[in-house]
Every structure is written in C-alpha cells, then in structure tokens.
Amino acid sequence: MRDQSVWQSPVGKLINEMTLDEKIGQLMLINSPGGHSINSIKDDLRAGRIGAILNEVDPETVRELQRICIEESRLRIPLLIGRDVIHGFRTVFPIPLGQAASWDPELIEQCARVSAIEAKSRGVNWTYAPMLDICRDPRWGRIAETLGEDPYLTSVLGSAMVKGFQGDNLSGADSIAACVKHFAGYGASESGKDYNITNIPENELRNVHLPPFKAAIEAGAATVMTSFSDLNGIPASANEFLLKQVLRNEWNFNGFVVSDWESVRILQTAGLTEGDKESAEAAINAGMDMEMASRTFADHIKTLLDENKISMAAIDKMVENILRVKERMGLLNFNAERLGYFREYDLNGHLEIAKEAARKSLVLLKNNNYLLPLKKTNLTNVAVIGPLADDKYEQLGTWIFDGDENISETALHAITEEGKENFSVKYVRGMHTTRSRSYDFFEEAKAAAYDSDVVLLFLGEESILSGEAHCRSDISLPGNQAELINALKETGKPIVLVLMAGRPLALEYIIDKVDALVYAWHPGTMSGTAIADILFGKYSPSGKLPVTFPRVTGQIPVYYSQKNTGRPATPESFNHIDNLPIRAHQVSVGNTSFHLDTHYTPLFPFGFGLSYTEFHYSDIRLSSDKLTPQGKILASATVTNTGNREAEETVQLYIRDLAGSITRPVKELKGFKKIRLEAGKSSVVEFEITVNDLKFWNKYMKYTYEPGKFHLWIGGDSDANLRAEFELIQI
C-alpha cells in the first residue's frame, strides 16, 4: 500500500492523472535527433511519450521543445535536457583527474558552478557528472574522468562538484541536476578495459568503492547513473543489491536512477537475459527508473504488466522518483517567461577561474638543481619542442563536446609572450602526433636544442588516447617519444618535460633523461598561461598527485593504501633480477612480495608534488594517546617553509589500523588542509580525529570501529614518516 501522503502531493496528483503511455514517457531518455530531424519527435512530445532528451544544446531548439511540452501537451511536464558536462562547457577546465590534483574542493566547486552556468545558457539542465569511480588501474581510459584512487579525496571533491552543479537551490536559474556515476565499481574493470566485468568482494566494495557515492548523495545529488559493468556476476543495471538494498534502503536516496547508454538493452549481450523484454523486466524489478537511449521499457512495459512480471506500483514509483526531481528543479512550475530566457555569462571571469584551476592542477614531479623556475633574464634562446606545445584542441582533453578551442591559449603562445623582451623562441613540432613512429623532425629538433639555453619539451597523450573505450595495455609514452627524449638528451642541454596526458604514465625508463618534469594532465582552455606561469615562476606549483604513478605498466595495480601482506617487501629483502646469482637455489625462507624486474615502490607516491620552496614537517603531537568512542583527539604538526619564497602546501593526514577483524590498509587518507606560508614562516596544522574516522566494514559486514592501536602520520604525501601512535579504547 502506498503512503497516502504521496498521492496528496503535487507529484502524486500528477501521477493520478497520467495514462500508462504518459507514465512510460517519463521513463524514456532519448538521444536528440538534431537539426531538422527534431520535427520527428514533436508528436511524441505533444502526447507525453518523452520525458527527457540528451545531447541537444541548440538553445532555440531546446526552447521550442520545452514550449511544446508546456503549451501543447496534456499534462504540461517539461523535459530534462541532459548533456555530458564533464569538466566544463564552453570554458574547459582540467580533466577531473587534473582537477583532483589541486586538492582544492572550493576551487572544484567553482569550476562546476561555471560549467552549470554555461550549460544552462544553452538549455541544458542535467549533467552526467561527477564520475566517482575509484580507479587503481591507469590502463583504464576513463581514469581521466575520475578523481583518483582514494575514497576520501574522491568523496570530498565529488561532493564539491555536486554542490557546484546544483547550487544552493536546484531550482535556481543557474543550477543543473548532477548525476553521479557509475554506480558502482566500474573503476575496477578487469584488465583496465572499458565495459569489462568487475569482481569486488562486498567488503572492498563498501570500504573503497561506495563511500564517494554515499557522500555525494548526502551532498544532495539528484540522480544516479548505473555502471555498464557486471558486478560479481550481475550487471549494475539489474543489480538489486546496489539499487534497492544499498541506494534506497540503506542510504534513503530519493532521486532517480538512470541507466548508462543502452545498458538495459545490453543485459542480454552480457548473458543475463534472453532478449529486450527480459532485460526491461530485470532492470525495472532491480530498481532502475529511466532508460537511456534504448527502448526496452517503451516496447515491453505493457506486456510485462499484462503478464504480471512487473507491477503498476513499481511503474508509479519510477515515475514518482523522476517527477520528484523535476519538482526540485522547478520544472513543474515552468512558465513561458522563464522558458524563453537563457542567461548571459561573464566569459572573462570564467577564464580566470579556468586559469587558476589549470595552475593548481599542475604537479611538479622533478626539478634537478632547481632548474625551475626559469629566469627570463638568463635566457637568450629557448627551444619549444613537441606536438602538444601548440595544439588548442588536444590540450582540452577527453569529453569536451562543447569546448571552444578558439578561446584556448597554447603553451607556445604564452611562452612566446613571456620572451618578447628577453629571449627568442624556436618551435619545432618534433613528432607529427604523440603516436607517431616517424623520425622526420628529429634532426630539426636536435638543431633547435643545440642552439638553445633550455629545451621545453611538450609530450604525452593526445586527448583521444584516454577517455571512454580508449584503454591502453602499455601506459608508457606512446610512439617515438622516448626516442625523441634520448635524441635531445644527446645535445647536453637542460630539458624541461611537460607532459599532457589523461592518465598517469609509466616513466621509469625516461625519468633520468630529463632535468625537470611538470605533469600537466590535460589542463583545458587556459593551459598556456598556466604552464608559462609555472615555468617562469609567476606561480609556485602546488599540485599533488591524486593517484600513484607506477614505474612500469607491469606494477599495476599499485596504490598507496595497499594491504601489508604477510611478507611485505623491504629495502633489505629487495633483490633485482640483475643481481641474482647464476644457478641460484630456489628457497622460500626470507622471500617477500615484489617483482624481480622493477623496484617494489612506485615512481611517485600518492599525494606527492614539489614546490619552488621546501616544507619541513616537525613536532607531531597528539592531545592524548587514548581515544574513546565518545571523545576526540587533536593531532598536530609544525610545518615550516624553509625556502626563500611564499607558497602553498597541502598538509595530509594518514592513519593505519594496526590489527582488525579484516586486514587493513597500510595507510588511509583521513584529512587534508591547504596552507600558504611565507618564506621562513611556520604554522601549526591541526586535525581532529573521532571514532567516525576509524570506522570500516568489518568481517561481519557491519560498519563499526574496533578498539586497538593506530598509527598516524602528518606530511606532504603518502610517504610521510612523521608518525605518532594512539589507542582506541572501549569504556
């Protein structure tokens, strides 16, 4: 029996008036036919047979489609207009993985706010973002869309994105509904291949993959998208455990769930069902509300009702979930005056935010002999080399359907502007593309290097080498990039390597060939200014890695919060393949967990990033070495800027539960704070720890804490060694 209060609400009253065809219409999300073909759906709009459209961004077309819905349809229910607004609209921000490198939730919220304003100006009112998949396999192309490998960082930044998109009020003139995706576990796709299966024990699912979604829903996310992937044998789009038990019963989510593109129809391809009708039945009974792109709901709901394989109560609940979101968005009070007005926006202001986001996303990974920042007065000739130095499109990254490359500024342009009064710039492409295996430009590149004071080398991945369905089995530099680096190394000139990529790359084999390394991800519209500001010292780099960098592809998965194992590798136990004696005896005593042909540590750890100054951590203190379930501990450390310039540092807090009913990670991020310190100044940075920071899903699948000893670190990355110890006691 339905709660009678539902039927007295505006949504309930509307459902009571709806025919079955109109109800089914609300469950349909169709791809816009575009252009003149839009006429083909107008009759369906008038009849209420379509509730949502994706990929229509022409404002006049959107205005006309919405007009038909509110003036010519019986129930006057407007459309949801969906679009992949992933990291910007016209103004493109760094890819989400790059934004995560800022570790700056306030800035990330601003980026999402700008994206919402620009998308809403074209009639879009719903975005399929943020993506909250935890990814520890950078072969997966969609790692570019993630916020990295850590549940805590992803939770904080993902919630900030939701707030940015939706604003203080989802019905606001500049607000759009967020859709958190992909629910759930998609980032663990086997072999790092898109659309692949995932096998995740429930304990790991709850401790690692689900927390960011829960945090986003608590932040008010209006909608959820299911994953393409098969989770433990049951595809997410028909997974009752995810959609009913977790999402509805445990988290009390009151928005609606939409499938990913045709992910209901392809349940049969995955082998769960025998046809479209069974696919619709499985998805509906599992808790799906809206179907994207395919038509299994539209084609089979009536028959399934007649056969009593689904219930009318289930259909009504699906419609209620969708209309409740439309009500929150103000769509059920949509009037003609509001329909015809799309706001203008301040593009220059948006570009300033994009520049700040790009600067804060850049991570300085290497800086031998303090080569950076470059001093313009010491330079006469600068060689700028590489296919990504002057490409307005490629710097934008994956999923930028509406990005305007005409407003992009490239690094070459910005560097040339910097040098106008001090040095000349010689540009050589070096390679046709990042994938090129030609040596056509190598000699020209070497000649430019010989004539220069410094080489600024722009390599990495074109945007198409990451993103959906663009996974790689080998994440070293593609094409002949390593050969180009080797050729330039022969010139003896200092090399600053700026890498633009959609994932962390395996760089062990080239890291010693360059003098400085700036990891730029794909920084978006304002790439050029941001990179030049870093290279020439107008801005001290502050980015920190949101994901661990492997040395070689074969190390994957490698991540900071690994389990210790019974035989963890140590410096004493590590024995490289080149050091093995001939005809050595095979023994097990004393062996530990590592690969013979690479070091057991990553190339760069999670949370790492250099600055143009140095930060020293000291004097770690705890307010008590005992914590009760009702109490709190204050943990602090002194951070000192020991360099000669002001800069920003991200202070990170890590905790380890030394013994639990299940084995626990060697470290877990539990907090971070950004501070700005003048040269020579110190600051005491404090964190509060309560029992909530120590809870986890234990072996009995209960979310709880367990008394025992804990280690705590405060430092500048996950390799922090400034440690204290406390005990959680039960009283």
**Cα–Cα dist 529/113, whole Å:** 22
Q: How confident is the model at residue 731, as a pLDDT? A: 76
- The answer to whether position 650 is within a domain reads yes
Q: How confident is the model at residue 344, as a pLDDT? A: 84
Among 561, 562, 715, 710, which Cα is nearest to 653's? 715
How many Cβ atoms from other residues are within 10 Å of residue 341's Cβ? Answer: 9
Residues β-bridged to residue 183: 226
Structure tokens at 107: 């800035």
Rounded mean pLDDT of 700-721?
Answer: 97
Tell me, yes or no, whether 531 and 638 share the same domain.
Answer: no
CATH number at residue 641: 2.60.40.10
Tell me, yes or no, whether 484 and 628 share the same domain.
Answer: no
pLDDT band, residue 338 (cuts 50/70/90):
low
**pTM value?**
0.97
State whether the Cα torsion 170-176-177-179 is positive or negative. Answer: negative
Q: Is 258 helix (H, G, I), strand (E, B) or coil?
A: strand
Query: How many Cα atoms sit within 13 Å of 703 on the Cβ side?
Result: 11
Structure tokens at 554: 């074969």
- The answer to whether position 299 is within a domain reads no
pLDDT digits (tens, 9 = 90+) for 285-327: 999 999 999 999 999 999 999 999 999 999 999 999 999 999 9
Domain end among 502, 535, 568: 535
Q: How confident is the model at residue 224, as a pLDDT? A: 98
pLDDT band, residue 97 (cuts 50/70/90):
very high
Q: How confident is the model at residue 575, as a pLDDT? A: 84
Q: Which residues have a catalytic role annotated? A: 260
Tabulate helix, strand, coil % of the chain (nearest 5): 35, 20, 45
Q: Tell me the pLDDT of the chain averaged across its residues.
A: 96
Q: For 542, which DSSP code?
A: -
Q: HEC string of 100-114?
A: HCCCCHHHHHHHHHH
Inform me whether the pLDDT recorded for 512 exceeds 90. yes
Tell me, yes or no, whether 645 and 529 share the same domain.
Answer: no
**Cα–Cα dist 372/424, whole Å:** 18
Decide if 516 contacts 471 (C-beta within 8 A): no
Ordered DSSP codes for 23-74: HHHHTEEEE---GGGGGGGHHHHHTT---EEES---HHHHHHHHHHHHHTSS
Decide if 399 contacts 384 (C-beta within 8 A): no
* Burial group, residue 731, by CB count within 10 angstroms (0-12, 13-18, 19+): exposed
pLDDT digits (tens, 9 = 90+) for 33-54: 998 899 999 999 999 999 999 9
Length of the chain, in residues: 731
Packing angle of the helix pair 411-418, 527-535 (nearest 10 deg)? 50
How many Cβ atoms from other residues are within 10 Å of residue 330's Cβ? Answer: 18
Among 490, 485, 486, 493, which Cα is nearest to 452's? 493
Inform me whether the pLDDT recorded for 2 exceeds 70. no
Domain end among 535, 564, 585: 535
Rounded mean pLDDT of 463-491?
Answer: 98
- The answer to whether position 127 is within a domain reads no
Tally of domains within the chain: 2
What own/partner pairs with CB < 8 Å and gap ≥ 24 does 418-423 have? 418/376, 418/532, 418/536, 419/376, 419/379, 419/382, 422/376, 422/377, 422/379, 423/376, 423/379, 423/380, 423/381, 423/382, 423/453
pLDDT band, residue 1 (cuts 50/70/90):
very low
pLDDT band, residue 419 (cuts 50/70/90):
very high
Tell me, yes or no, whether 523 and 648 share the same domain.
Answer: no
Tell me, yes or no, whether 526 and 634 share the same domain.
Answer: no
Structure tokens at 430: 């070096």
* Burial group, residue 706, by CB count within 10 angstroms (0-12, 13-18, 19+): middle
**Cα–Cα dist 578/566, whole Å:** 25
Q: In this structure, what are the phi and psi dihedrals at residue 235, rounded to the nearest 5 degrees?
A: -55, 145
Q: In this structure, what are the phi and psi dihedrals at residue 648, rounded to the nearest 5 degrees?
A: -105, 140
Rounded mean pLDDT of 697-708?
Answer: 97
CATH number at residue 438: 3.40.50.1700
**Cα–Cα dist 106/133, whole Å:** 21
Tell me, yes or no, whether 496 and 382 share the same domain.
Answer: yes
Structure tokens at 323: 């209309």
Q: Residue 593 CA to chain centroid, in angstroms? A: 30
Rounded mean pLDDT of 376-384?
Answer: 97
Q: How confident is the model at residue 503, as a pLDDT? A: 98
pLDDT digits (tens, 9 = 90+) for 155-208: 999 999 999 999 999 999 999 999 999 999 999 999 999 999 999 999 999 999
- The answer to whether position 521 is within a domain reads yes
pLDDT digits (tens, 9 = 90+) for 389-404: 999 999 999 999 999 9
pLDDT digits (tens, 9 = 90+) for 638-685: 999 999 999 999 999 999 999 999 999 999 999 999 999 999 999 999
**Cα–Cα dist 115/121, whole Å:** 10
**Cα–Cα dist 30/41, whole Å:** 10
Decide if 544 contacts 363 (C-beta within 8 A): yes
Which regions of 279-415 does DSSP assign to beta strands (E)? 291-292, 363-367, 381-385
Domain end among 474, 501, 535: 535
Q: In this structure, what are the phi and psi dihedrals at residue 495, rounded to the nearest 5 degrees?
A: -115, 125
**Cα–Cα dist 587/454, whole Å:** 51
Give the range of the structural domain holding residue 691, as residue numbers without chain letter.
Answer: 615-728
**Cα–Cα dist 454/671, whole Å:** 39
Q: How confident is the model at residue 7, as a pLDDT? A: 59
Tell me, yes or no, whether 415 and 513 share the same domain.
Answer: yes
Packing angle of the helix pair 442-450, 481-489 (nearest 10 deg)? 30
Tell me, yes or no, whether 621 and 506 share the same domain.
Answer: no
Among 648, 647, 655, 622, which Cα is nearest to 637's? 622
- The answer to whether position 515 is within a domain reads yes
**Cα–Cα dist 628/166, whole Å:** 38
- The answer to whether position 43 is within a domain reads no
